[in-house]
């Protein structure tokens, strides 16, 4: 699995240590929960992406705030302070953006108020399917089911295809 290789490469092994297999904290899927005014979304088949399916999100007009339109996915596993986390997901810009590119932000966050960020960053999308990733280290402990993935999609008028999402950790 490409995402597992991604985490392994991001986690150097010191001399005398053995490499630990990363732990997948979610059920990898393209079944994103999409929210926000003015957008439309629909699952679709796409043989060009891992797993063969994607969620197409169309945003015909840029909303007032980028966070007004987003997508989320649950995380079932627990996160401990000091865990190295990788949020990886397949995505592409299907239409719109500026000069064939668009930027979205992704966050591993608390799943309830105040929705504090655990790991956050931005990725650039183009017309090609790409496995993008955001990495970080958890600053606190979060019990199983207390975190989720949240993408901010409302930064522009565009159509984005979201493929499977992976949340991985290593201690």
Convert the pLDDT of each residue in 105-164 to its tens digit: 999 999 999 999 999 999 999 999 999 999 999 999 999 999 999 999 999 999 999 999
The pLDDT tens digits for 74-105 are 999 999 999 999 999 999 999 998 899 999 99
Range of the domain at 131: 2-8+25-170
Q: What's 108's domain CATH number?
A: 2.60.120.260
- 157 occurs within a structural domain: yes
Contact 84, 135 (CB under 8 A): yes
**Looking at the 3D structure of the chain, how many domains does it have?**
1
The answer as to whether 19 is a domain residue is no
Residue 11 has pLDDT above 80, yes or no: no
In this structure, how many other beta carbons lie within 10 angstroms of the beta carbon of residue 56?
A: 17
SS3 for 12-24, per residue? CCCCCCCCCCCEE
| In-domain check, residue 14 | no
């Amino acid at each position: 699995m490409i995402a597992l290789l991604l985490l392994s490469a991001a986690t150097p092994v010191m001399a005398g240590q053995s490499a630990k297999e990363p732990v997948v904290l979610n059920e990898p899927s393209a079944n994103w929960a999409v929210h926000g005014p003015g957008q439309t979304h629909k699952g679709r088949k796409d043989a060009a992406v891992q797993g063969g399916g994607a969620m197409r999100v169309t945003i015909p007009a840029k909303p007032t705030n980028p966070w007004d339109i987003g997508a989320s996915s649950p995380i079932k596993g627990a996160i401990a302070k000091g865990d190295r986390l990788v949020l990886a997901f397949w995505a592409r810009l299907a239409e719109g953006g500026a000069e064939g590119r668009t930027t979205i932000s992704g966050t591993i966050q608390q799943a309830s108020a105040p929705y504090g960020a655990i790991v956050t960053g931005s990725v650039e999308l183009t017309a090609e399917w790409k496995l993008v990733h955001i990495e970080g280290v958890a600053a606190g402990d979060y019990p199983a089911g207390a975190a989720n993935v949240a993408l901010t999609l409302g930064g522009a008028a565009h159509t984005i295809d979201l493929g499977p999402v992976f949340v991985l950790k290593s201690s």
